[in-house]
Structure 1
Amino acid sequence: MAEGNTTHRSTSGSIARVEQALRNLGLDRPIKHFGASTRTSADAAAAIGCDVAQIAKSLIFRAQTSNQPVLVIASGSNRVDENKIETALHDRIAKADAAFVRDQTGFAIGGVAPVGHTGPVKIFIDRDLQQYDVIWAAAGSPNAVFGVSPSELERITGGQVIDIKP
C-alpha cells in the first residue's frame, strides 16, 4: 500500500452508505481513504499500489428509453464500447451528467460505488476484471476505495459480466 493511506470506518455520508451496503451483502470490507484524490484510474492505482487494470472504474450512462441509470464497471485500463453496452441493454445510452448521476445513485462523479445506490441501477461488469484476485472499487468518495474479488463484485451487484472493449 502507498504511504499515507488510512483504513477506518466512516460514520456518515456516502462512504458510510457503502460500508453499510457491503455489510448488508455479507462483506465486511474496510474502506481505504487517501489524502489525494483517487478519481482517475491512474490516481487510484498509484495510491493503492496496484496495476491500473485492477481498478474497477465506474461509468454512469442514461438509458434513453427508460431513463434508467446504467453503471458500467470497467477495468481501469479499458475503454468502453458504448455499442456493446447498448446491445446488452437493448436500449440506446447517453452520457450522464453530474446532476443525473447524483440524483440517480446518490454519489458524485468520481466516487460512484458499485453498491449503496439510492435507487435501482442496471449494472454491467467488464469481463477483463475476472482475471484478478482483487480489484479496487470506488467507495462513495473520490478518495476512498475498497477491495473485492471479481466473483464477489458480481454477486453483490447482480451485474452482468460482458466484454466491453472496442
Structure 2
Amino acid sequence: MSTEHPSITRFREEHARLGGTGDVVILPDSVHTAALAAEALGCEVGAIANSLLFDADGAPVLILTSGAHRVDTAKVAAAIGVPSLRRATPDFVRTHTGQVIGGVSPIAHPAPVPTYLDPWLRRHEVVWAAAGHPAAVYSTTYDELAAMTGGTETDVE
C-alpha cells in the first residue's frame, strides 16, 4: 500500500498523462519557500518556479514566477485584463487547485486554471516546480511548463 500523499499521486498521474519528462523528488522537509527549495536542490533560487494562485474577483489565476521575482499584481492584472489580483486564501487555493499553499503544482487541478508564465524562467535549462505537496518538487523546462499548462508568457515585475 502506498504511503504517498494523494495530491502527489494525482500530480504524478496528470504529469504522465501530459507526457512530462521530469523527475519527481520528495524532499525530507517542507520547502515552502523558493530559497529553501533551491538550497535543498542545489540550484539557483531563480530556477524555482513558484506557483502562485491569485483571486481575480472570485476567479483563479495561476502565475508561475521565478523564485527570484515578486509579482507586481497591479501590472499583471492590467496586462491580463482583470480588475485586480488579490492574494488567495488557503480555502480558495485548495478549492481551485486541490492542493495546499506551498505545494501548488502548475498542473493536476480539478478544473483548468488560467496560467501565466514569467519569461525569466527561460534562463534556466532545468526549472523546479511543486508537485502537489509542500515537500514534493519536479524538474521540467520552460517549454514543457508552457506546453503542459497552456500558459501565456507575461512579465510579472
TM bin (shorter chain): over 0.9
Residue 119 of structure 1 and its aligned partner are, at CA, apart by: 1.8
Residues 21 and 140 of structure 2 are in contact (CA less than 8 Å); yes or no, is this contact kept in structure 1?
no
Residue 151 in 1 paired to residue 151 in 2?
A: no
Q: Deviations over 1:88-132 (max 9, x none)?
A: 321122111000000111000000000001122111110100111
Measure the CA separation in 2 of the matches of 1:27 and 1:15: 14
Using the size of structure 1 for normalisation, the TM-score is: 0.89
SS of match in other structure, 2:74: helix
SS of match in other structure, 2:103: coil
Measure the CA separation in 1 of the matches of 2:3 and 2:119: 31
Q: For 1:7-86, what aligned pairs fall within 5 Å after superposition?
A: 13-64=6-57, 67-86=58-77
Q: Deviations over 1:139-159 (max 9, x none)?
A: 011111000010010000000
Residues 69 and 122 of structure 1 are in contact (CA less than 8 Å); yes or no, is this contact kept in structure 2?
yes
CA RMSD in angstroms, aligned pairs only? 1.5
Measure the CA separation in 2 of the matches of 1:100 and 1:110: 14
Go from structure 1 to structure 2 and tell me whether the alpha carbon gap of 1:131 and 1:69 turns closer, same or farther (over 3 Å shift).
same
Structure 2, unmatched stretches of 5+, are none
Cross-structure match for 1:141: 133
Q: Deviations over 1:35-75 (max 9, x none)?
A: 111110000000000000000011110111xx211111110
Cross-structure match for 2:120: 128
Give the 4+ runs in structure 1 shifted more than 4 A: 9-12
Measure the CA separation in 1 of the matches of 2:3 and 2:89: 27
Measure the CA separation in 2 of the matches of 1:45 and 1:143: 13
Q: What letter corresponds to residue 9 of structure 2 in structure 1?
A: A
Residue 29 of structure 1 and its aligned partner are, at CA, apart by: 3.1
Structure 1, unmatched stretches of 5+, are 1-8
Identity of aligned residues (%): 39
Residues 34 and 45 of structure 2 are in contact (CA less than 8 Å); yes or no, is this contact kept in structure 1?
yes
Which of structures 1 and 2 has the larger relative contact order (alpha carbons within 8 angstroms, sep 6+)? 2
